[in-house]
Structure 1
């Protein structure tokens, strides 16, 4: 039986995806999930993964098109199974309606505070203004105005609605995107009603199906599209702020599912292409453990333990590796490192001296809630929409940086600005100025987190900058030892969520390895015991970490 192409997407994209597929003459089986799941990324991930697994189980599919973007990171962690996935490298559906990220950025620059609508969005999400006045969402709960009046009185109901509708102040424009997929005066009318009701400017924008077309026809990754091969997981590259594909290193499962299956017409995956022998190293605060593992047979070949030598990691790592079977060691094709180094450095308040540069919102004084020194507030302000209110003063940035170096001996900087995750331009400017003037390392909040909480991003950037030398030293020492032993396998590092990152990326973002050791312990406990519900306790020399495993999830 001939295999089909499937598409799973948000219901707001249904009109445009079907229209584009028809124009291209592509036969696609569709499954659309209810609109609004981006507001609950965890639920989005659960429903999307379930839909993918269901389609893969039929063995009737050659490719699955994913009609989502990053969507609040709801697609991060999605696994491809036995069938490759195709997903656009965009943050949300607006870029798909406009034809790509560049078009989105142009519109954002003109009007950061824009509420976008399309024919598909209107059909799935919008209710007439006359109805919209009568209800409002509080979290996932829909509140009815008349119910509030009955229970709490007219004044309380009005105040509640005013507060819950305060989001409208973040927008200045309603824009209807005319994609040409389905035209009707009623769609544009809804957008006009919204603009009139909320006193926003109104614009009609010509959209494009170009990016959707690329998505539907892609068999390789491009600058716009991510092609996720079988047995890979979708990741997030915070530095580039885009999606990535990482291998799932479970050979036994991979071989069962894909060794004899045709994945893409003309392309077959041979079992010999998979990694057969891996080296696992766990660098703890007290001991360094090493294991050579046969991924094909799913068994440990040999293992060893040595004391961790923090003053020179090469000694502890080298000692552990020398105790292993040297013939088997030379067959290693991948090296995976888990470590409590970052966690221990933070717990013990160690690391290099960091200067924090902040650009908080005007008048709120929330920078005072960040109990870290040295820190400095500089000129440069954005609205919550990302629109610039006050520009950066380069001379002030240089002056503050030099003062921190001279007065506090800082050797790295952390930069965080209000609305930096929406518009990182100010953070990038400050980073470039400091690096050019001092030559020191700078971490920006937007590089590590897309959360709107500027304080959280500031602390995350500070921790990352503080522990960079320590993890970089560990990885460089590991590379030296492996090179001396003639092992040239790629090195990956276990992140705090149990996924893997390259050693190059780990040197830039060591903060993501916090809880790396405990994450590896949970994965190991689950694998060794087969128990899906358990309390896992990792008792180390510095910290004791616990994790609850429920239905295979932490």
Structure 2
């Protein structure tokens, strides 16, 4: 019996996905989730994972096509069970209607303040404009104007209503995307009425179903589609600003509350894991530990310890690995690294000298809010919508960067601009100019966080740039030792939230390894003891870290870790 293709998608994609499948002659089973879940990423994640689990339990699926993009990070942490997933590498459905991310970026660059509509969107969302004037939303809660009047009085109700509808000021254009999936006259009419009501410009733009067709036909990863094999989890690569697939090992996200709690689980013996033998390395400030572990049998095969040699990491790593059973070492299929080196560097105020380049909002007192030296403010300003107010001055950027290197001894740069997470164009331009002028490494705030807080994003970027040499040096030295010992296994690095990232990503984003060592300790303590309620204490040579294990779970600091007095956007366990 031929296994089925399944689609789980936002209801706004229903018209276009069914049209594409019919055009291609494909028999697909659909499950469409209600529109608007991107406004509540936690709920989106719960419903999407539940739908995937239901299909996986049936065992009849060949592939599950996910009709979502990043969608407020509602898809981050979604796990493929026994059936592979295919998901487009886009931020939201607009790219799917336009035919791809590049088409959306091109459209955004021409007119950033655009409210996009499609036939599918209108089918799910449209109500006569006369009715739409009578309600608004507070988060995902629908509020009726008459209910507000009854509860608070007409004046207060009107003020509340006007405030909650102020989002309309962020847009200057309504654009109807014509994909050709369905006759669009009534939908176009609604889009025109909306534009007239909100005093926006109206445009009709040409869409494309090419990306949707690729979604439902592609069975491997491409530049546009992410293929997620069984027992893998969807992640987000902020450097490339795209989705990624990562193997599920010992640390899994709690399915009931992925945004706030990390559940430490043992890997089931019947999971069919591709990885049988793993090498774990923990590089601390004082000691480097190495363990070869049989993942399938849940058994420690051998272990060793050596002093960490910060002046040349190869010495300590090589010493630890040489003490292990060499035959077992040769059979290692995955190397997992946890480390406190990034944390220690921040706490001890070490690392390279970073020049901070800022494009702040009007009126921000930088000396009071961002305490870092050296820092410079340059021309370049955006509205909160991402629309440009003031362009950057390339000559100014070049001159400041050169002076910071020659006079102040800067060896790396961090760039952060107000609204950079909405429109990163200014940050990207400044990065390119600085790198071309100085050859120095440059970290941009939008690469590490999509949160709006400009100051915290700037601090996170600065710390990332500062500790690049420390973690990059460790990883390069580890790769050197592995090559000499003929270990061909890939390297993954434990992040502060207990999840994993590739070595290549860790070299670009070392700040993500803040509290990496303690996160690994929590997982190890639970796994080795079987205790689900405990206080885990990780006492190292530089810091002592504690975490509360409750019912096998550890709270996740969603707002970002505070390390060495710095508030960051790095999500890590509550340690």
Using the size of structure 2 for normalisation, the TM-score is: 0.88
Partner of 1:409: 409
Q: Is the CA contact (8 Å cut-off) linking 2:239 and 2:508 kept in structure 1?
A: no
- Partner Cα separation in structure 2 for residue 246 and residue 366 of structure 1: 39
Question: Residue in 1 aligned with 2:178?
Answer: 178
Residue number in structure 2 paired with 1:98: 98
Mapped to 2, the partners of 1:81 and 1:340 lie a distance apart of: 32
- The 1:479–1:530 alpha-carbon spacing in structure 2 relative to 1, beyond 3 Å, is same
Q: What's 2:276 paired with?
A: 276
Which stretch shifts more, 532-541 or 3-12?
532-541
Call closer, same or farther: CA 1:538–1:47 in 2, change over 3 Å.
Answer: farther
Q: Which residue of 2 aligns with 1:264?
A: none
Contact 1:250 1:295 in 2 (8 A): no
Residues 415 and 430 of structure 2 are in contact (CA less than 8 Å); yes or no, is this contact kept in structure 1? Answer: yes
Going from structure 1 to structure 2, the CA distance change for 1:284 and 1:257 (only over 3 Å counts) comes to closer
1:256 maps to 2:270: yes
Q: Distance in 2 between matches of 1:177 and 1:367?
A: 46
Distance in 1, Cα, partners of 2:424 & 2:330: 45
Task: Say whether residues 1:29 and 2:43 are aligned partners.
Answer: no
- Relative to structure 1, is the Cα distance of residues 354 and 330 closer, same or farther in structure 2, using a 3 angstrom cutoff? same
The answer on whether the counterparts of 1:360 and 1:367 sit within 8 Å (CA) in structure 2 is: no
In the TM superposition, residue 471 of structure 1 has moved relative to its aligned partner by: 0.8
How is 1:13-52 mapped onto 2 (pairs within 5 angstroms)? 13-52=13-52
CA 1:531–1:80: 2 relative to 1, 3 Å: farther
Q: Which residue of 1 aligns with 2:442?
A: 442
CA distance in 2, matches of 1:257, 1:352: 44
Q: Which moved more, 1:401-410 or 1:208-217?
A: 401-410
Distance in 2, matches of 1:531 and 1:145, equals 52
Q: Report the TM-score, using the length of structure 1 for normalisation.
A: 0.91
Residue 185 of structure 1 deviates from its aligned partner by: 3.5
CA distance, structure 2, for counterparts of residue 526 and residue 454 of structure 1: 37
Relative distance call for 1:255 and 1:151 in structure 2 (3 A) is closer
Deviation (angstroms), 1:437: 1.8
Q: 1:548 to 1:72 in 2, by over 3 A?
A: farther
Structure 2 unmatched ranges of 5 or more: 252-265, 556-575
Q: 2-side partners of 1:352 and 1:28: how far apart?
A: 54
- Local SS of the residue matching 1:397: helix
Matched-pair contact (CA < 8 Å) for 1:226–1:244: yes
Unaligned runs of 5+ in 1: 259-270
CA 1:291–1:257: 2 relative to 1, 3 Å: closer
More deviation, 163-172/493-502: 493-502
308-317 vs 470-479, which moves further: 308-317
Residue 209 of structure 2 is matched in structure 1 by: 209
Deviates more, 1:486-495 or 1:197-206: 486-495
CA 1:386–1:40 in 2, change beyond 3 Å: closer, same or farther?
A: same
Structure 1 window deviating more from structure 2 (195-204 vs 148-157): it is 148-157
* Structure 1 residues 367 and 215, CA gap change in structure 2 (3 angstroms): farther
Matches for 1:59-458 after TM superposition, within 5 Å = 59-249=59-249, 256-257=270-271, 274-365=274-365, 368-458=368-458
Q: 1:535 to 1:201 in 2, by over 3 A?
A: farther
Q: Which moved more, 1:169-178 or 1:517-526?
A: 517-526
Distance 1:536 1:42, change over 3 A: farther
Deviations 1:241-289 (A, max 9, x none): 111222234799688355xxxxxxxxxxxx8xx3332110011223221
Give the 3-state SS of the residue equivalent to 1:181 in structure 2.
coil
More displaced stretch, 49-58 vs 308-317: 308-317
The alignment partner of 2:79 has SS state of coil
What's the CA shift for 1:366?
6.5
Determine if the alignment matches structure 1 residue 544 to structure 2 residue 545.
yes
- 1:268 aligned partner: none
Name the SS for the 1:183 alignment partner: coil
Summarize the Cα distance change of 1:345–1:108 in structure 2 as closer, same or farther, 3 Å threshold: same
> What CA deviation, in whole Å up to 9, does each residue of 1:170-198 have, x standing for no partner?
10011112222232543222212211111
1:369-419: CA deviation from partner (whole Å, max 9, x where unpaired): 222222111001222332322221122112222333345332211001122
Question: How many angstroms apart in 1 are the aligned matches of 2:271 and 2:336?
Answer: 24
CA distance in 2, matches of 1:343, 1:547: 19
Distance (whole Å) between structure 2 residues aligned to residue 551 and residue 544 of structure 1: 18
SS state of the match for residue 303, structure 1? Answer: strand
Moved more, 91-100 or 379-388: 379-388
- Alpha-carbon RMSD across the aligned residues, in angstroms, is 2.3
